[in-house]
Every structure is written in structure tokens, then in C-alpha cells.
Chain A
Amino acid sequence: QLQLQESGPGLVKPSETLSLTCIVSGGSISSSSYYWGWIRQPPGKGLEWIGNIYYSGVTYYNPSLKSRVTISLDTSKNQFSLILSSVTAADTAVYYCGRHPGGLNYYHFMDVWGEGTTVTVSS
């Protein structure tokens, strides 16, 4: 059974860089049938897609965050990562990693989600 677990610091200072990792078990991130992505949810608010990555390294990012986001794969550890630079209080959220069924140049909804990790941006 596929499981995803987010890890990373729960507190980040304004203007600094947020870095999260998603550890995948029960399946390989090198599969050509899936993308691996991040979605966030500010406290009491709705869901915002951040971006995702294919096993080949192809990435898609939300244009609203694109200038600050990098998603990468580490196939040796079967994990993928999110880097969000120059954070502000508006980046405070629960960050979820997950899997999107897909293929070359297309992906679908996130069908498997991690439990989420809370990140607070505050000095």
C-alpha cells in the first residue's frame, strides 16, 4: 500500500527558505505512471496546488508561486522535495505531498495524499 510522509521544519522565519521532503513507501517514484506533487492549505482555508514532478524530471508549477518554487526527486532515497524561497506569513499552511496518476505531458487529480505537515512562517 502506497504511503507518503512529509517531513521538515515546522517553523520558518520570514524571507527564509522552506524545505520539505516527502518520503514514499510501498511504491516507486521512478514509475512512468505517476507525478509527485505538493498541495497546501492555509489555516481555515481551501486547497492550493503548488506543483508536481514526473519521474523524468519534468515539472509543472503554479504560476502564482513559480518564481519561488522548486520540486525535485531523489530516486536513490525514493523521496521528493519542495523548496519555497522568500517565505512570508502568507505561506503559513499545512503542506501535503501526494501522487497524481499521469503520463508524459499530462497528469490527473491527486489520488494518494500524505497526512500533511504544518509550516508556520514567523520570526
Chain B
Amino acid sequence: DIVMTQSPDSLAVSLGERATINCKSSQNVFYSSNNKNYLAWYQQKAGQPPKVLIYWASTRESGVPDRFSGSGSGTDFTLTISSLQAEDVAVYYCHQYYSTPITFGQGTRLEIK
């Protein structure tokens, strides 16, 4: 199984400041035949199902604010929120869909400082 490890486990950022969450996979999730990283990011607010923010490591889902961006390739990935808003308080998960079983990181809890 591909193990996804996120850092930090929790993060407190001031409103309007940048938040950065890292994700490392135990194996490469880049598929060279189509030049894609099989990596997604989810946001889960309290009492709600996860919502996909980013897929293919850097493609923003329709309707997701452009303050959210994803980067990285191979085994190291980053989710950045450029200017934190109050509504961004949530747990964020990275997710690899490169191989079965598909797996998730342990989650990063983002709070307002």
C-alpha cells in the first residue's frame, strides 16, 4: 500500500495569512505515460463529507476559490491557501489514486490563530 504522510498534523494561521500543508507518498504517484500525478486534496468541515479541492496534484475543482493551489510531483506535494479565510477552517486530506488500495493521509487540522 502507498502510505501518505501529511505535515503538520495541525496548523494555526492568522486570517489573511498563507497556510501550507505538505504531503509525502511512500511511492511515486506520477504516471509518465500521461504525465499526471495521481494526487488529490480534500477539505472536510465538521459534520460534512469531504469535498475535493484539487486533483491531478494541481488542477482546481470547479467552484473552488483560487486562493487554493496544489503543487508538487512524484512523492512530495503541497496544498497552499494563499490568504486564509474563516470558512477555510477544516481538516485537509491528501489522497493518492495511483494504485489500489487508494489511500489517504492522516489529515491536517487547520485553525485560525
* Residues of A participating in the B interface, judged by any CB pair closer than 8 Å: 46-49, 60, 62-64, 96, 98, 100, 107-111, 113-116
B95 at the interface (CB under 8 A from A): yes
Report which B residues bind A (CB closer than 8 A): 1, 38, 40, 42, 48-52, 55, 61, 93, 95, 97, 100-107
Q: Which residues of B contact A100 (CB under 8 A)?
A: 97
What DSSP secondary structure best describes chain A's contact surface? loop
When distances are taken between beta carbons in the complex, the residues of chain B under 8 Å from A98 are 49
Cβ–Cβ contact A47 & B97, under 8 A: no
Q: Which residues of B contact A114 (CB under 8 A)?
A: 49
Expressed in whole angstroms, the Cα–Cα distance for A109 and B98 within the complex equals 9
Give the docked Cα–Cα distance between A25 and B72 (Å). 36
Other A-B pairs beyond A47-B104, A115-B49, 19, CB < 8 Å:
A46-B106, A46-B107, A47-B93, A47-B95, A47-B107, A49-B101, A49-B104, A60-B100, A64-B101, A96-B50, A100-B97, A107-B97, A108-B38, A109-B40, A109-B97, A110-B50, A111-B61, A113-B51, A114-B49
